[in-house]
Amino acid sequence: MTKLLVTGGAGFIGSEFVRKAVSKGYEVAVIDNLSYAGDMKRLKEVAGRVKFFKTDITDREAVKDIFGSVTPEAVVHWAAESHVDRSILDASPFLDTNIRGTQVLLDLSREVGIKKFINVSTDEVYGDLGESGQFFETTPLNPSSPYSVSKASADMLGRAYHRTYGLPVITVRPSNNYGPWQYPEKLIPVVILKALHNERIPVYGKGENIREWLYVSDCTEAVLEVLEKGNAGDIYNIGSGEEKRNIEVVKAILAILGKSEDLIEFVKDRPGHDFRYSLNATKINSELEWKTKVRFEKGIEMTVKWYVDNIEWANKKVSTKKP
């Protein structure tokens, strides 16, 4: 397979996937609605080498025309509303894009006979854990937030299309991504920017919540491995095994920047805040021989450096950020 249709390809992780796929010789077409979190600057280095369509994935007729135009062999579906806090304020865009948009893509993929459909889910569909335990691909889904419910719905919809219609859907569930170009509403870029401006850094609760951190290039390499070697109908957890409490992440960033921990301000916890995520990635490690390359200590240093070097882009995003 050489012709890919990538949704959400101007987003944080989607654009990294597009850049990597192009470098590996894939012919890539991108669908992205360029909502607040999308940015064509992320695709600057592959400009002229990808076909780009500014389209909402819920627009069935427009997406159908794109399928007919680019005749993709595989779909890699990254497009999603993804910020938990926004979903708590208003769940509607999450249900529209993440569920209805996924249905549109699955239906059209059936019509044209797509050879592989990579449905990108998240570790958040599992719910949360206590201090011990892990999520396996067979763990029942138990989402907590409107965001994770919408992703669990899209996840299950894809698997239903495989079982009911034989559509070759593969589900991937990555852990928390971080790295360059992340929109500054997620924990790591927020902390970096506020620290650079010597502003107070809000940390939910006591900062004890635990996340598994995966560098963005490792995630996209894993998805390429799944695209090339994965089995239709299968599910693959994509995890790094590197768990950090939120307060540890904040302090690591402050240390890199030489900033005082006095900037930290503990604030009221997020409603329904999941305590801990932890993925068992044995399946992808053993079956597809994929392993992470970037350790957290190195990845967070590279991420901080990128934001320091690209502070104008980040500042502009913050200044135009929608509520």
Instruction: Read off the DSSP letter of residue 236.
Output: E
**Active-site residue, from 123, 128, 234, 274:** 123
Q: How far is CA 37 from each of CA 41, 56, 81, 211, rounded to the nearest angstrom?
A: 12, 14, 9, 22
32 in catalytic set: no
Choose among 196, 137, 165, 175: nearest CA to 299.
Answer: 175
- Phi and psi at residue 60, in whole multiples of 5°? -60, -45
47: number of Cβ within 10 Å: 10
**Active-site residue, from 16, 81, 126, 147:** 147
Amino acid at 245: R
Rounded Cα gap, residues 230 and 120, in angstroms: 13
Amino acid at 180: P
Check if the beta carbon of residue 70 is closer than 8 Å to that of residue 3.
yes
* Token pair listed for 2: 């050489």
Instruction: Read off the DSSP letter of residue 97.
Output: I
147 in catalytic set: yes
Rounded Cα gap, residues 31 and 15, in angstroms: 11
Rounded Cα gap, residues 281 and 269, in angstroms: 29
Check if the beta carbon of residue 303 is closer than 8 Å to that of residue 192.
yes
**Active-site residue, from 39, 81, 124, 155:** 124
* Token pair listed for 49: 């080498």
Q: Where is 76: in which H helix or E strand?
A: strand 74-77
What is the biggest distance separating any 2 CA atoms in the chain, rounded to whole angstroms? 57
Torsion of CA 223, 228, 234, 237, to 10 degrees: -30
Rounded Cα gap, residues 54 and 97, in angstroms: 15
Residues recognised as catalytic: 123-124, 147
